[in-house]
Amino acid sequence: MAANPQPARFIPSTAILELGDGFYDPVAAADFPVTRLRFRNDRAAAEIGLQELDDAAWVRHFGRFDPLPGSLPSPLALRYHGHQFRQYNPEIGDGRGFLFAQCRDARGRLMDLGTKGSGTTPWSRFGDGRLTLKGGVREILATEMLQALGVETSRSFSLIETGEALERGDEPSPTRSAVLVRLNQGHIRIGTFQRLAYLRDEAGLRRLTDYVLRHYYGDAGGNGGPVRLLRHVVARTARLAGQFMAAGFVHGVLNSDNINVTGESFDYGPWRFVPDWDPGFTAAYFDHAGLYAFGRQPEAIHWDVMQLATSLREIADAEPLIEALDGFGAAYQPAVTDAMLWRLGVKPRDAAHDQALIQAIERGLRAAGTPIDRFFFDSFGGAIPEALGADYAEARSLLADYRPRKSRDERFWQGAPCAMLIDEVEAIWARIAEADDWSALTAKITAIRAFGAALAD
């Protein structure tokens, strides 16, 4: 799942402009008091040919938002709607971020550089358009860990501290401010389609459908395009749901405006990694009903994709859309199985054996209460240690018939599990908040990347 990036040359794009100005609003970035570079992702920069930028140029582009040559002349705040905790909201859009630039990566894919905390836009409502520095640090940790675990995710590309004191109700205030830049395949959300359906804009829906098919799926669009798009999104989002479960990750806010049509996870607020296999574990303190609990994430993502199908009903017949949507369950089961086998470091056998193994592992995890990271670390390569207990007897027997994908002989597997639980996140932030000490964050990123390399094919 993971791969070493190859250095690329910068190939700018302005593809989003094909959609026309009804899809976005040109905006300007905030004029921040200071721009202090705190994190630059040179590994991700190498994928799009920006690794040679010196720090001064980096700050000009990703703190002051001078346009990248040949890309968008002005930042664009994208327009969308969405269901937020199942309540439809037609008054949202990019409220504290924008699409800054587009380019091609080393694989020829269209990529977006988008922001969080870059200032107010026409969609900010009552917000200040800012991001806390802690929020930026948390997003770096989430994306680095998810990438290591083989989850399709945006990457935290840049974090720049901006010198403003922010008031927040859910953390000690005043608190420090920052602007984050993300790199991912696209910022077209299910909510982007919902907005057009709400406005009964059939021409816009067709234009957006063709844009997504052409640029993200290599599909020419045209007749049958909406149904083919839904099939693509069903497959990608089912894969994402499976990867979340294998990673033990809880996104926290799986609203339809937070699900993009390329099936990449992004926008990390109250995320958590679960300590053990607890389907009821929630990440957001405001998710009182457990709508987006760990074990309900596949259901939540499927529900969001259902809203895409409903939106596409404006330009397509219901029956083929329903048929495509019904494929989510059939796509999810092999997705979670593949993701868990990959994390175990073993090669798949056949669907029946693989599914039986994964079900046995889940039963063992629930019964034993073993920390997820400890289980996968100790069992990597295809053997569940006896020390983990009798609750894994069935899984241990089934796993004995699997061949390792990668040996656990290398040095990494002789150490301790690499985890990302909330206590460590808070400890890393405390050193930054109290002493401006970034060494723990740097060390953790190094450890996570070593973990990713040990897992990778």
Catalytic center residues? 257
Phi, psi of 364 (to 5 degrees): -65, -45
Which residues lie closer than 8 Å to 361 by C-beta, 6 or more apart? Answer: 340, 375, 392, 395
Which residues lie closer than 8 Å to 381 by C-beta, 6 or more apart? Answer: 344, 345, 346, 404, 406, 407, 408, 413
Rounded CA separation 112/117 (Å): 16
Collapse the DSSP code of 83 into the 3-class scheme (helix H, G, I; strand E, B; otherwise coil) and give the result: strand
Rounded CA separation 325/174 (Å): 46
Q: Which amino acid type is present at position 316?
A: A
Residue whose entry in the numeric block shows the structure tokens 């550089």: 113
Q: Which long-range contacts (CB under 8 A, 24 or more apart) does 407-413 make?
A: 407/381, 408/345, 408/380, 408/381, 410/454, 412/450, 412/451, 412/453, 412/454, 413/377, 413/380, 413/381, 413/454
Phi, psi of 370 (to 5 degrees): -65, 135
The number of angstroms, rounded, from the C-alpha of 318 to the middle of its chain's C-alpha atoms is 30
Rounded CA separation 208/9 (Å): 28
The first and second tokens of residue 154, run together, are 């945006």
Rounded CA separation 428/444 (Å): 9
The first and second tokens of residue 349, run together, are 């056998």
Phi, psi of 4 (to 5 degrees): -75, 125
Nearest to 136 by CA among 153, 158, 120, 119: 158
Rounded (5°) CA angle 339-343-345: 115
Rounded (5°) CA angle 153-410-386: 90
Exposure of 255 in the CB half-sphere (CA atoms within 13 A): 24
Residue whose entry in the numeric block shows the structure tokens 């922010």: 166
Phi-psi region of 181 (alpha: psi -120 to 50; beta: other; left: phi over 0): beta
Q: Which amino acid type is present at position 287?
A: D
